[in-house]
């Protein structure tokens, strides 16, 4: 158990368009999901923390109006990159925490990532 | 504030030799420490974690890591490297309080030479 999926796995779009990326916890409920961004040959940088039923918490320097996050259910969070530009091209990775009293409840489970290329 | 350092950008090792990927951390309170591996264009795969208990933690694919509280280190090790171990390795720390995000190190690229 504890599988996280992302869709799409890769997307190419034109500058100025919006792109939605989905993150799903397939076999567990996740009240909190995290969105990361990774530039080539760099580490993951946390963009925002997505909380089910409430507004996301954005890290400093991340434009909340550009990166819209919706966490409508306990198994789905979406990241929408609005009016995308070439500099938004990156690898976006989500993760979900599994709540409970078990040994794996301190882990985050990562999705496979979404490669966004903005032309 | 939490932080993670991986002092080596790149580690090269010959196949069959032991490997070590270094990690040091800074965190308030008790740390949760993790190692993840990333292959090209893929997400992160969990290798192992330290929460509590034995300082030597064994994980997936023959990897292990030793938690050293006095040196605030959590180095990843493997007795005999494989070419297929070549990848990007990330150390991460999380504070004790559940709900706080992970802080990742900058990553170390491991190359195992045949």
Say whether pLDDT at B99 is over 60.
no
pLDDT at residue A24, rounded to an integer: 94
- The reported pLDDT for the residue numbered A100 is 60
**Is 80 exceeded by the pLDDT of residue A103?**
no
pLDDT at A101 over 50: no
Residues present in chain B in total: 114
pLDDT > 90? residue A55: no
Instruction: Give all domains of chain B, ordered by start, each with its CATH number.
Output: 3-98 (2.60.40.10)
Choose between B65 and B28: higher pLDDT: B65
Across the interface, whether the CB atoms of A46 and B101 are under 8 A apart is answered yes
CA B49 to CA B4: how far, in whole Å? 15
pLDDT at A102: 52
The more confidently predicted of residues B21 and B93 is: B21
CA distances from B27 to B21, B30, B32, B92 (A): 20, 7, 9, 11
CA distance A67 to chain B (A): 18
Q: Identify the pLDDT of residue B84.
A: 94
Mean pLDDT of B57-85: 95
Q: What is the mean pLDDT of chain A?
A: 88
In percent, the amount of chain B with pLDDT more than 70 equals 94
In this complex, the residue of A6, A41, A43 whose CB is nearest that of residue B105 is A43
Residue closest to A50 by CA, chosen among A27, A24, A84, A83:
A24
Mutate to test the interface with B, among A47, A49, A94, A106 (most CBs of B within 10 A): A106
What is the pLDDT, as a whole number, of residue B51?
Answer: 85
pLDDT band at A37 (very low <50, low <70, confident <90, very high): very high
Q: What is the mean pLDDT of residues A6-10?
A: 95
A66 backbone φψ class: left, alpha, beta (φ>0; ψ -120 to 50): alpha
């Amino acid at each position: 158990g504890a599988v996280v999926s992302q869709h799409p796995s890769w997307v190419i779009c034109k500058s100025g368009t919006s792109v939605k990326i989905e993150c799903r916890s397939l076999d567990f409920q996740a009240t909190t999901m995290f969105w990361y961004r990774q530039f080539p040959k760099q580490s993951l940088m946390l963009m925002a923390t997505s909380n089910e039923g409430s507004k996301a918490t954005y890290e400093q320097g991340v434009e909340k109006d550009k990166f819209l996050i919706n966490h409508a259910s306990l198994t789905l969070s979406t990241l929408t990159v609005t009016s995308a530009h070439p500099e938004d091209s990156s690898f976006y990775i989500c993760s979900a925490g599994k709540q409970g009293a078990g040994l794996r409840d301190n882990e985050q489970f990562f999705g496979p990532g979404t490669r966004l290329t903005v032309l | 504030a939490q932080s993670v350092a991986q002092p080596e950008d790149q580690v090269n090792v010959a196949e069959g030799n032991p490997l070590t990927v270094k990690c040091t951390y800074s965190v308030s309170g008790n740390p949760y420490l993790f190692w993840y591996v990333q292959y090209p264009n893929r997400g992160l795969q969990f290798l192992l974690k330290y929460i509590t208990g034995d300082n030597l933690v064994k994980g997936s694919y023959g990897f292990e890591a030793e938690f050293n509280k006095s040196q605030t280190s959590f180095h990843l090790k493997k007795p005999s490297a494989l070419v297929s171990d070549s990848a990007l390795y990330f150390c991460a720390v999380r504070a004790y309080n559940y709900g706080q995000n992970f802080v990742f190190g900058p990553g170390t690229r491991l190359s195992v030479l045949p």
